[in-house]
């Protein structure tokens, strides 16, 4: 079948980890790709990545600004539980360096990277006409055509809302953080450059958590919440005071919505697909998104490649199907965890107490760092299940 002439095979809207990964892989497959990035803004993000991401996506070591060797969970009553990471690490990246590197890699593969803001799209028989506004001194409105569009433009995606029913119903939390410069005379008893601190306290977040994540010479101090009346800035100010970083130099302040549940549908059944935050692939409870966004970008690129080869729009649905097969169970479990354990300070206290358990720690880190369900220790899973049940029933002491 003869295909209509278009300016591009695929237009990718959004140049974060998901969009840049998809653009890179589509360009490597020989497709003509336009990557639109909305002004190269930096998303609020703790920056944590599992070590398996480095190998799976061929990420150079120099982008890892810190290697975390433990995590500290702080309960509402101030009880601390340290969770050492044996034999591996959690990598930390700075999004102001990581994202541009991914976009540059896509460009080197052949994608055209342009600063631009998505405005609208419409179908013209077998092609998609997309209009965007340039981001320069004299903004212009430009319309281009393509055989397909990938919306990787974040939570509350404009592409998703324009093409996919009920996209606006995806639940989200507001994430806000401040990147600070850690002073050389910092109180190292309160802050460890090799440790992530996670604060489960209602005074800091009524339904999520607050964090202090080291980034080498810098640190990300942030919080998330779905409560509209919640003041994220006041919460971060309180946390900075708690850890002795109130007077540290603030380098950046960033806020944005973060989705908390994968959308039920990622494509419009014609030629549009969404990926990353736009598809809702941020892990509930943990808020982890970079790995899942990049995997989603890769799966989306494969689905679009199949669609471009066959013209069969059913190929687009494979991205979500494959992602949920790999990680749907994990997202479901984490969603239950967040809804129950993050609801009150009494429950948060019990949740942090559970983190003392060696089986919980081992299974948590093995699953996180490898992104695979650990099946080699079935009795450990059973022990964790019954300990969790005891906490739920109030049979265990916090």
Would you state the CATH architecture of domain 8-44+95-170+262-331? 3-Layer(bba) Sandwich (3.50)
In the chain, what percentage of residues exceed pLDDT 70?
90
What's the pLDDT tens digit per position in 229-268?
899 999 999 999 998 899 999 999 988 888 988 999 999 9
- Sheet of strand 210-215: strand arrangement: 80-84, 70-74, 195-199, 210-215, 218-225, 172-181, 249-259
What's the pLDDT tens digit per position in 155-206?
999 999 999 999 988 888 889 999 999 888 766 667 888 999 999 999 999 9
Q: What is the mean pLDDT of residues 21-35?
A: 98
**Where do the domains of the chain lie?**
8-44+95-170+262-331, 63-94+171-259, 344-392
What pLDDT is stored for residue 164 in this prediction? 95
- Beta strand 195-199 with 172-181: parallel, antiparallel or unpaired? unpaired
Q: For residues 33 and 150, what is the distance between their CA atoms, to the nearest angstrom? A: 10
Q: If you average pLDDT over every residue of the chain, what do you get?
A: 89
In the chain, what percentage of residues exceed pLDDT 90?
65
Q: For residues 284 and 341, what is the distance between their CA atoms, to the nearest angstrom? A: 12
What's the pLDDT tens digit per position in 356-393?
988 888 888 888 888 875 555 544 444 444 455 444 44
Q: What is the mean pLDDT of residues 131-142?
A: 92
Q: What is the mean pLDDT of residues 70-95?
A: 93
Fold match flag (8-44+95-170+262-331 vs 63-94+171-259): no
What's the pLDDT tens digit per position in 285-325?
888 889 999 999 999 999 999 999 999 999 999 999 999 99
Q: Which fold has domain 63-94+171-259?
A: D-Amino Acid Oxidase; Chain A, domain 2 (3.30.9)
Q: For residues 251 and 253, what is the distance between their CA atoms, to the nearest angstrom? A: 7
């Amino acid at each position: 079948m003869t295909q209509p002439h278009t300016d591009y095979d695929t237009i990718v809207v959004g140049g974060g980890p998901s969009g840049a990964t998809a653009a890179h892989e589509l360009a490597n497959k020989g497709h003509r790709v336009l990557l639109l990035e909305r002004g190269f803004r930096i998303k609020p993000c703790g920056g944590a990545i599992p070590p398996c991401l480095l190998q799976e996506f061929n990420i150079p070591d120099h982008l890892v600004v810190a290697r975390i060797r433990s995590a500290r969970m702080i309960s509402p009553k101030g009880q601390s539980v340290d969770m050492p990471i044996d034999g591996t690490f959690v990598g930390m990246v700075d999004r102001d360096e990581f994202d541009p590197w991914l976009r540059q890699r896509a460009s080197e593969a052949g994608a055209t990277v342009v600063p631009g803001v998505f405005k609208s799209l419409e179908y013209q028989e077998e092609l998609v006409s997309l209009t965007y506004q340039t981001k320069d001194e004299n903004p212009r409105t430009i319309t281009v055509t393509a055989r397909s569009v990938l919306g990787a433009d974040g939570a509350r995606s404009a592409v998703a809302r324009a093409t996919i029913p009920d996209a606006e119903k995806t639940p989200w939390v507001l994430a806000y953080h401040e990147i600070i410069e850690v002073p050389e005379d910092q109180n190292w008893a309160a802050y460890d450059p090799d440790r992530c601190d996670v604060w489960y306290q209602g005074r800091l977040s009524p339904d999520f958590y607050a964090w202090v994540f080291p980034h080498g010479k810098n640190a990300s101090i942030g919080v998330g919440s779905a409560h509209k009346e919640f003041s994220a800035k006041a919460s971060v100010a309180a946390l900075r005071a708690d850890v002795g970083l109130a007077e540290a130099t603030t380098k950046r302040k960033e806020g944005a919505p973060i989705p908390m549940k994968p959308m039920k549908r990622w494509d419009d059944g014609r030629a549009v697909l969404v990926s990353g935050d736009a598809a809702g692939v941020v892990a509930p409870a943990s808020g982890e998104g970079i790995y899942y966004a990049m995997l989603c970008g890769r799966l989306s690129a494969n689905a679009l490649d199949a669609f471009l080869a066959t013209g069969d729009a059913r190929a687009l649905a494979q991205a979500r199907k494959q992602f949920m097969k790999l990680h749907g169970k994990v997202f479901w479990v984490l969603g239950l965890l967040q809804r129950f354990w993050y609801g009150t300070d009494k429950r948060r206290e019990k949740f942090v107490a559970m983190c003392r358990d060696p089986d919980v720690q081992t299974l948590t880190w093995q699953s996180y760092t490898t992104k695979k369900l650990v099946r080699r220790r079935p009795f450990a899973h059973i022990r964790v299940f019954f300990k969790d049940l005891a906490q739920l029933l109030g049979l265990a002491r916090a």
